[in-house]
Amino acid sequence: RMDQALLLVRNELPAPGLRLAARAGPCHQCLYQFLAFVPPSNGSLRKPGTASVMVDTQHPLTLLLNSSVGETQLCKIQYHFGEFGNYSLVVKTLNASTKTVSCDLIINEGPVNSYLPILFAFLVYMGILAVLIVVRLFMKIDPVRNWVYKKLNPRETDRLINSELGSPNTTDSINCDPATHSWSTASRQRLHSLDTFRGLSLVIMVFVNYGGGKYWFFKHESWNGLTVADLVFPWFVFIMGTSIALSLSSMLRWGSSKWKVLRKILWRSFLLILLGIIVVNPNYCLGPLSWDNLRIPGVLQRLGFTYLVVAALELLFTRAESGTWEAPYPALQDILPYWPQWICILMLEAVWLCLTFLLPVPDCPRGYLGPGGIGDFGNYPNCTGGAAGYIDRLLLGEKHIYQHPSSSVTYQTTMPYDPEGILGTINSIVMAFLGLQAGKITLFYKEQHKQIMSRFVIWSIVMGIISAILTKCSKEEGFIPINKNLWSLSYVTTTGCFAFILLLLIYYLVDVKKLWSGAPFFYPGMNSILVYIGHEVFENYFPFKWKMQDSQSHGEHLTQNLTATTLWVIISYLLYRRRIFWKI
């Protein structure tokens, strides 16, 4: 099968036989899992005992061969098997007098290169990009451009609108003051980098949710660590916070009362949570909506609650803009004016730390951050997620949280655990607030591009240093490991570091130098809620999914997932051209 290889064990040793066990590389402090019993050889017939097993090829494996009597370790082999490969492990005696045992791994049939489809897909998309660049160059020729415009008569989107999770309001009132009019004109120039960032995160999220070609690095990490799939959700939360800063500033600047803005925040948050529970979470292909096993947490629910807290906090403490605020410390002049918000966020983080490390969890060690199951040598099988999992099971019930966490495969956990649970929401609020700080920087320095980019660099360095301290630059041995399931503090600071760097690059290319229009990611970024809900609702329908000829092929899965993702980009482009934007 996909991500598997065949291993034939040949035992040339006499009785009593062998026990073959294995442990996956990413499985930290895991128990060895029994694979097969290998019978002894038949000395009279000189026939070795054999056993065949399927082994995982996604990660390196450690194979352990013990005697079936006494559990004496005979050999231990670390090897990364290749997909669809055929291997033999020959166990024999090298020296009869010393009873020295050798274990030789032989490749009977070479594996396939399962990564070639990625290379082919990359070349295809690069070819499409090259064609588009050539077309754009031709469009710069006046006769060609005039002919195309005459034939197509495209309708440009003249009035840019707010995106659904908050972005700058582009409606300005008429002002006769030339200086004010200059700032008014600048404010209408929407930051395309924000929509591009949001769209990039969304496109990767759609691709990952559709399967990511069934490659392990396009799936969420089983527990501690980081993959491509683990980056996109916090990035989406980050850019939502950035957009909150710009949209609230715009609405208040043009006369909206705080009560009116608060009502809009409450309504938007309610709709996001409701859409997540009623539309996205249930699988209506399996039957009508049932409260008995309805999952309550979810991505949109997390976004809705995070938006509510961060936007309400910003609205509560925001002040009317009245000139430049003089800070006693120039290096902190874009932070100190917002000290009440920072105090609230730090208090929330203190709550997360106290609950995570001090809350007593039945039958689990205090402050446990592990996956349970066979991890930690099987000592805490029902402690998945520690306090975070316990709070969700206590308040929501086991049937109302995610039943198949990413830890269930590698760590063989049996407890339900929700990566969008209650406790992790605190750190998603922190992540959105970091994005809000990025938005404050763009507002504070306005068109001072060098200042904005230098602040982004400083923030990325600060986040990186905090991550290095919390993790000790280690995957497993840090004070607080990087963990998407827990939304750990180090996970927030690490993805926040990457978010500041990515926003800096996109801002420089799109809004400063204008070397890139943001296409094609700009278009789904302008219709992010529609694309997200649409891709979830229509996930199992043609043309986003079809019956495969070979379901054990990474290439066919990758083709299907890339096709579905590309279709949503095309849909968002067509909606953009027709000026159709779904806001809530």
- The residues annotated as belonging to the active site are 220
CA 234, CA 434: separation in Å to the nearest integer?
Answer: 11
Q: Which residue has the tokens 């890139």?
A: 516
Q: Which helix (H) or strand (E) holds 67?
A: strand 61-67
Phi/psi-derived region of residue 166, left when phi > 0, alpha when psi is between -120 and 50, beta in every other case:
left
* Phi, then psi, of 293 in degrees rounded to 5: -135, 25
CA 303, CA 164: separation in Å to the nearest integer?
Answer: 12
Please report which residue ranges of 140-228 form alpha helices under DSSP H.
Answer: 142-152, 178-188, 192-209
Cis ω on the peptide bond leading into residue 416 (within 30° of 0)?
A: no
Q: Which helix (H) or strand (E) holds 119?
A: helix 116-139
CA 421, CA 404: separation in Å to the nearest integer?
Answer: 14
Question: Tokens representing 203?
Answer: 């496109």
Q: Which helix (H) or strand (E) holds 105?
A: strand 100-109
Question: Among candidates 495, 101, 432, 99, which has minimal Cα distance to 237?
Answer: 432
**What letter does residue 110 receive in the DSSP assignment?**
P
At position 273, the amino acid (one-letter code) is I
Question: Among candidates 443, 450, 448, 483, which has minimal Cα distance to 467?
Answer: 483
CA 308, CA 566: separation in Å to the nearest integer?
Answer: 32
Query: For the chain, what's the residue count?
Result: 584
CA 296, CA 397: separation in Å to the nearest integer?
Answer: 10
**What letter does residue 395 receive in the DSSP assignment?**
H
Question: Among candidates 253, 242, 241, 268, which has minimal Cα distance to 169?
Answer: 253
**What letter does residue 508 receive in the DSSP assignment?**
I
CA 233, CA 237: separation in Å to the nearest integer?
Answer: 6
Residue 251: Cβ within 10 Å count: 21
Please report which residue ranges of 446-482 form alpha helices under DSSP H.
Answer: 449-471
Residue 332: Cβ within 10 Å count: 11
Phi/psi-derived region of residue 287, left when phi > 0, alpha when psi is between -120 and 50, beta in every other case:
left
CA 405, CA 399: separation in Å to the nearest integer?
Answer: 13
Question: Among candidates 390, 388, 395, 404, which has minimal Cα distance to 489?
Answer: 388
